[in-house]
Amino acid sequence: MQSKKIGWIMEYISMLMEVYFLLLRNILEEVVLELEIQNYSSKTIITYKSKNLNFIKYLENKHKITKIEDVKTLHVKYYGGGLRQAQRKPTYINSVIKSLQAFYKYSKEENFTQSNPITDVKLLKVNQHLARK
């Protein structure tokens, strides 16, 4: 009887830990820690954290999504469309996409997810203005 209780408790703890590690906010904290360990500049870390956190807040508020496996490419595209409607510049939107790419690259490397909703999201064309002499 005692071993059944211990087995059930261990299974329950394992399930809780799995859910905990699949939460977007928790993964973001791990990504930030990894960037610090890899000695990225504080500006880069702040930028990546801010842009990913804004996306996570969007997912939580608009789609009630908190787990990484629930995020689909369509959510990323809607978010990008919202940034365009808010008249964000293509360079800003591209930096958001690059931040999300880093987030998902880390998540796949650590086996937090099998899918990558950023794969099919393309960077926006940025018009280069040439300086006149």
41-69 average pLDDT score: 96
pLDDT given for residue 130 in this prediction: 59
Q: Higher pLDDT residue, 51 or 132?
A: 51
pLDDT given for residue 13 in this prediction: 56
- Please determine, for residue 15, whether its predicted confidence score (pLDDT) is greater than 90: no
Those residues whose C-beta lies under 8 Å from the C-beta of residue 65, and which sit 6 or more positions away, are 24, 59, 71, 75
* Sequential DSSP letters for the chain: -HHHHHHHHHHHHHHHHHHHHHBHHHHHHHHHHHHHHTT--HHHHHHHHHHHHHHHHHHHHHH---BGGG--HHHHHHHHHHHHHTT--HHHHHHHHHHHHHHHHHHHHTTS-S--TTTTPPPPP-PPPPPP-
Domains of the chain, by residue range, sit at 2-109
20-47 average pLDDT score: 92
- What angle (nearest 5°) sits at the alpha carbon of residue 99, between those of residues 86 and 56? 65
- The model's pTM: 0.80
% of the chain surpassing 70 pLDDT: 80
Q: Which CATH architecture has domain 2-109?
A: Orthogonal Bundle (1.10)
How many CB atoms within 10 Å of residue 128?
Answer: 5
Q: Higher pLDDT residue, 103 or 5?
A: 103
56-78 average pLDDT score: 96
pLDDT bracket for residue 132 (50, 70, 90): low
- Please determine, for residue 82, whether its predicted confidence score (pLDDT) is greater than 60: yes
Q: How far apart are CA 89 and CA 18, in angstroms?
A: 38
% of the chain surpassing 90 pLDDT: 73
